Each structure stands twice: as C-alpha cells, then as structure tokens.
Amino acid sequence: MKKPVDLSIATVLYVLRQSNIKLCQEDVVMMAVSCLTRVLRSLTLSQPALLCSQAVAQTKLGTRVTSTVGQCRGFLTTASLEQNRTFWKQREKYTTRPIGMKKTGGRDHSGRIRTHGIGGGHKQKYRWIDFQRLRYEPNREAQPFEEKVVEVRYDPCRSADIALVAGGNRKRWIIATENMQAGDIIKTSGIIGRMAVSANEGDAYPLGALPVGTLVNNLEIQPGRGSEYIRAAGTSGVLLRKVNGTAIIQLPSKQQVQVLETCMVTVGRVSNIDHNKRIIGKAGRNRWLGIRPSSGLWQRKGGWAGRKIKPLPPMKVYVNMPSISAK
C-alpha cells in the first residue's frame, strides 16, 4: 500500500496566488526545498517504528525484529532476552560440546524480575546432561548396554560432577556417582528378572530389579520421563520396599514416594559429597557464582520464619492405584 504524497507545495502556491503576495526568488526556493524534504520523508522506504507489544509478538512468532525496535527503551531488555538467549532445550540434535548460554539475571521474557538474588557472575557454558539412562544399541534391545567412562569433570551449572561416557557410536554426559573414575564400565538394563541383581555403583536398573536397601540416585517418577529426583551433590535415596508392582523410595529429605517398579534409577550416591562443606570466604565469591547480596535491612526475628518441628508430610504416590469404591 503506497503512502499518500504530501501536497504542501501546491497548497503554498495556491495561497500565494490568492493573496497576491510577492516574494523574492530566494524565499520561493527555500520554501520549495523544505516542502520537497517533507515529501521525501513521507516516501521513505524504511518501516515505521514498532510498539513494544508488536515487537514482542513478532519475537515470539520467530520473525526478525528490525533495528527500529531499539528506539523503544522499554524493549531493550526483552529483545536481549528473546533474541540473544540460547535455548538448549530447543535443539533437536544432541551434542556433547559446551553450549553458549546467556544469563537472564532472574528476569523472564518480559524483562521483569521473577527470581531475586540472581545476577552477574562468571560466564558459563552448558553441558547437555542426558537424564534418560535407558539407551540401547539398535537390534540389541534385550541385552544390557555397557558404556565406558571417558572423563569426570566439574560442571559450573550444577553442584554435582558430571561424567562423559561412550558406548557404541555415541557419547553423552551423565551425573557422576561418588567413586566413578575414568575407565570404569557402567551398565544400563531395563530387564526385571526373578532374582534381584547385584549391581555396581554407577549402573542403572529398574527399581524392581534391585534388592531392598539399595542406595539409589537419579530417580524417575514416570517410566521414560528421565530422572527428576536425587540429583544434587552428595545425595542418595533408599529403596525401602516393593508393593504390588510399585516401589517406595525414601528421599534425602526423609520423605517417601511411591513409583512404578519400572522406573529407572542409578545405583550409588551422587558425586561431590563435600559440596556443602565448601567455604565461601568472602562476599566477592558469591558474586562470581552469580548470587547477588540480599538487603541489609534489619528485621526483628519474631519466630514466624524458620524451620518448625512438625511431622513428616505424607507419602507422595505417583501411581494410579484403583480406588476402593471402584472395586
């Protein structure tokens, strides 16, 4: 759609003729130049400046926002969060290479602070952790899958150490256990036999295949969903008992959960057990870690806040058990 042409030149000439005003040649030239300038500005091919709401909508749809958006001061934070941030979850192909990551400073897509106490810190790169240990080679689904530990290293994005394991034609990062070292062979099996297996540390089995009393970590709450519980440094859970195709696990918080016995777990304790004993030493180290200081406002301790002595919460059940009324 073409923009309408500015008709200010014809309007000026018509007024001059009707009023019989005599102007010198220089005045006429200056008026003509100013009118032509206004006409050329109206015919410019550049896009008009967008509103902040329109720019945010275009960013969410995947279209590229033009440089005119930078004129809107309120959109600067939103543009940096929406365009410059690398979403590792949006990647389709798995990679073991470190992925660039932009810090959000505790802000969401709109630029507003959602989590206080986050900001600054050293630059970090994300290592894509594979939380689904149940991986088989093609045409060998019935056999346990073995992998070799290539290296165990520090991960800046989590408290536990991570291990690079390789098996078959692929490599991946996993959460390392307490005594895992380079050169170890770990097994992954999804078979539940009649007898409980004698698993080694770092092996992954379904809960139904392990004996009662085993220390476990990286617990799934739904089969095939990936581990979600017991992933922090130095933590471990205990397999308490098995009931009608389900297993009851005690978490590090002493709370108990009930899941299906086909959920995968890793045997042993998570690495870096001395993480809670580290000494920060100075306030600047917290800033290195991306932790901002809290307010220095003095507040009277009235006893409302803090840990209370109360009974443990009831057991969480992640199994759809049939109700009594249905029977």
Would 56 be classed as within a structural domain?
Answer: yes
Does residue 154 belong to any structural domain of this protein? yes
Let me know whether 154 and 79 are in one domain. no
Q: Is residue 176 part of a domain?
A: yes
Residues 167 and 252 in one domain: yes
Q: Same domain, yes or no, for 105 and 154?
A: no
Dump the DSSP string for 233-302: TT--EEEEEEETTEEEEE-TTS-EEEEETT-EEEES-BS-TTGGG----SHHHHHHTTBPPPP-------
In this structure, the answer to whether residues 94 and 67 fall within a common structural domain is yes
Assigned domain for 113 exists: yes
- For 41-69, give the secondary structure using H, E and C: HHCCCCCCCCCHHHHHHHHHHCCCCCHHH
103 lies in some domain: yes
Residues 106 and 86 grouped into a single domain: yes
Q: Please give the tally of structural domains in the chain.
A: 3
The per-residue pLDDT for 13 is 58
Handedness of CA 54, 57, 62, 67 (dihedral sign): positive
CA–CA separation, 124 and 99 (whole Å): 9
199 shares a domain with 83: no
Per-residue pLDDT, 43? 56
Q: Is residue 283 part of a domain?
A: no
What confidence score (pLDDT) does residue 69 get? Answer: 40
Domain boundaries, position 266: 145-274+310-317
Q: How far apart are CA 231 and CA 187, in angstroms?
A: 19
Q: What CATH number did the domain enclosing 189 receive?
A: 2.30.30.30
The answer to the question of residue 166 being in a domain is yes
Could you read off the pLDDT tens digit of each residue along the chain, which spans 327 residues? 444 444 555 565 565 566 555 556 666 667 777 767 766 665 544 454 454 455 545 555 555 544 444 444 344 445 545 555 555 556 678 899 999 888 889 999 899 999 999 999 999 999 999 999 986 555 655 568 899 999 999 999 999 999 999 998 889 999 999 999 999 999 999 999 899 999 999 999 999 999 999 999 999 999 989 999 999 999 999 999 999 999 999 999 999 999 999 999 999 999 999 999 999 999 999 999 999 998 888 877 777 777 777 788 898 888 876 554 555
For residues 87 and 172, state if they share a domain: no
Long-range contacts of 80-85 (CB under 8 A, 24+ apart): 81/107, 81/108, 81/109, 81/111, 82/56, 82/109, 83/59
